[in-house]
Amino acid sequence: LANIDYPQIMLMHSQQFGGVVKYDYGSFALPLGTSRSLGLGLIRLGVDDIPVTQLSNPALKLGEEYVDANGITRLNTPYVARTISDAEYALFLSYGLKRNEKLAFGANVKLIHKNVGDNSAWGLGFDIGAIYKPAGNLLLGLNLQDITTTVLAWDSGTREIIVPALKAGVAYPLYIRALGGSIAPAIDFDIRFEGRSYAAQFAAGPVSLDSHLGWEYQFQNRFALRLGSDVGNLSAGAGLNLAKLQIDYAFLSHDDLGNSHRISARLSLESLKPRQR
């Protein structure tokens, strides 16, 4: 965000785990002054058309026989009475600052809304992040999410706690003349404090860690190929840069939950006023 030179619009859609989960994102970013930028983004993560079942005769146990109003003997089996959605929304207001050529940092304030069927919840959270370039092309990234612990208040009177999570990573882009472009290996980690135990790659007590590995080859800043591992699952992708428009596709495999597909586009509005250098 801190490094953009022109206003940008970004859109993304993802069909996760065989299309069961839909993930949508849209944002607008605007450079301000010489080294600052402001962004506004919206995320929706949802599982739609979840069936809610009822027994044909709620007074009886599952599988019991009964005689209906027409005198027909039936088994007490469930049927789909209606469908509901489990959806989560987050509205972000983001600020990025480029301190110098080595350091950039920023923060989010986010309004969160969740609804499951007839119940809903609201919450307010904060994130901070930084990118540091200590030497050469080496890039270090740090992102601390929900730094103050985010509380979701449900209309049922209960409260849901989102504890802070830390994301840290390193990348090293390197131009190779013989390949006609650059390569960029990267690795990052999600560090959580939720007691995920067996649900994470590595865990010790309440602390868990998941890893993400990636490698990108970019040809003359026009076309990119990507390959990686997301928590041990194969990921791959490609990107196309058409001057003002950048289009990216990503694929993630999963043996148990099904494959995920993601497509995104970023448009630079170069006809508008650029950042003043």
- At residue 11, does pLDDT exceed 90? yes
The pLDDT assigned to 194 comes to 87
Q: What is the pLDDT of residues 75-106, one digit of tens each?
A: 999 999 998 889 999 999 999 999 999 999 99
- 46-50's contacts with Cβ under 8 Å and 24+ in sequence apart are 46/21, 46/22, 46/85, 46/86, 46/87, 46/88, 47/20, 47/21, 47/22, 47/85, 47/86, 47/87, 48/22, 48/83, 48/85, 48/87, 49/83, 49/85, 50/83, 50/84, 50/85, 50/86
Q: What is the pLDDT of residues 51-67, one digit of tens each?
A: 999 998 888 899 899 88
The pLDDT assigned to 122 comes to 97
pTM of the model: 0.83
